[in-house]
Amino acid sequence: MSSKDSTFMKKIKSWPLLLPVVALFLVMAVNILHDAAIGANPLSFFTITLNQTTSSGTILYGRIIDILNRGSEVAILALGMTLVVSSSAGTDISVGSVMSLSASFCCMLLAGYGVANTSELAVPLIVGVLAAFAMGTLCGAFNGTLVAYFGIQPMVATLILFSAARAIGLLLCNNLIVYVRNSAFGAFGAFTGILPTPIIIAAICIAVVALVLKNTSLGMYIQSVGINPKASRIAGLNSKKIIFLTYVICGFFAGVAGLVNSSRITSADSNNIGLYYEMDAILAVALGGNSLGGGKFNLAGSIIGAYTIQAITTTLYALGVSTDQAPVYKAIIVVIIVAIQSAPLKAFFRKRSLKETKEAAKA
């Protein structure tokens, strides 16, 4: 092997997104093999077509589009979760419940308190949308205050809203599932042109966060606080304020995800909106190669992790696994992927590679 080839291989091995990308392609490979086994076109997994529908007109259709569409909420949550994990070395387990509360608050305002089913909006749509964002932000501020200023462990602090947010949402909706069958509200979960709107919303959120982190020092400050908050404080950084800010951002994105999710079903179902999404968001961060112990983070890895989780879910359904059994298989797959990315296993393969290199040099 030439020195140029060796340098290229070293760059590939040291690429931070190598394992997340490999994991995603392995999931896709399973779909290709399954399609080939049943006699279908092996490339049908990647096929994207334009389909004519009665309600949405001409839209893009395909399994890739479905994964991007259905995985949008987790991708949005993963943005905030990545920053929270990096800054506080802890996770926000309340994001799924905050999604539900934000959606409930939005739909309650749009329908009117005590109204269970309506097609006419009680307030302008923008009021409901901003209310969802505000509620998510308020919840994030509550969590951030407990973690940053009261020194409560992140999981314990966010356990409060994890338990209470859905109940508060039910109270706001008068213990009802509030249906808002309005086309303007439903547009957030439907289609904009040929593309599903959730994909566009997720792309905007990702782009905004990426631009902010690239053009400001926020990303460096967050990582610095996550690595050593005491040293960061001595260096002049307000560690508490930075941790508080990450929880506010996480809450805001939970509000955005809640709006998208409720718009999909044109209703606020407090018991089911965002159910277990907090686990998927945390897994997305882990699958992206980010350390749950805080410090350095890779936003692109978390996004890939979010869509990998959705790809696994879609693949299991395509293989005929029932919705009741899917979480078991999903958990096994995730454990394998996370184990492959673990530090001890990386160290083992690094030592083995170094040993083989030395033996080859002696020969």
Q: How far is CA 181 from the centre of its chain?
A: 27
Whether 315 maps to a domain, the answer reads no
CB 20 within 8 A of CB 289: yes
> How far is Cα 230 from Cα 77, in angstroms, rounded to an integer?
28
Specify if 10 maps to a domain: no
**Residues in Cβ contact with 127 at an 8 Å cutoff, skipping those fewer than 6 apart:** 109, 110
Domain annotation covers residue 125: yes
Close Cβ partners of 354 (under 8 Å, ≥ 6 residues apart)? none
Does 52 fall in a domain?
Answer: no
Q: Is the pTM of this model over 0.75?
A: yes
Which helix (DSSP H) or strand (DSSP E) does residue 74 occupy?
helix 72-88
- Number of domains observed in the structure of the chain: 1
Note whether residue 98 is domain-resident.
yes
Q: Could you tell me whether strands 267-268 and 178-180 are parallel, antiparallel, or unpaired per DSSP bridges?
A: antiparallel
Q: Provide the token pair at 73.
A: 């909420």
Query: For residue 129, is it within any domain?
Result: yes
Over residues 187-201, the pLDDT tens digits come to: 999 999 899 999 999
In the prediction, which pLDDT does 363 show? 64
For the four alpha carbons of 106, 110, 111 and 114, in that order, the dihedral sign comes to: positive
The verdict on residue 248 lying in a domain is yes
Q: Quote the CA–CA distance of 188 and 65 in Å, as a whole number.
A: 16
The domain in which residue 227 lies consists of: 59-276+292-297
Identify the pLDDT of residue 341.
66
The parts of the chain modelled with pLDDT lower than 50 are none
Which pLDDT belongs to residue 5? Answer: 59
9 within domain boundaries: no
CB 115 within 8 A of CB 178: yes
pLDDT of residue 99: 97
- Tens-place pLDDT, residues 220-242: 999 999 998 888 888 888 999 99
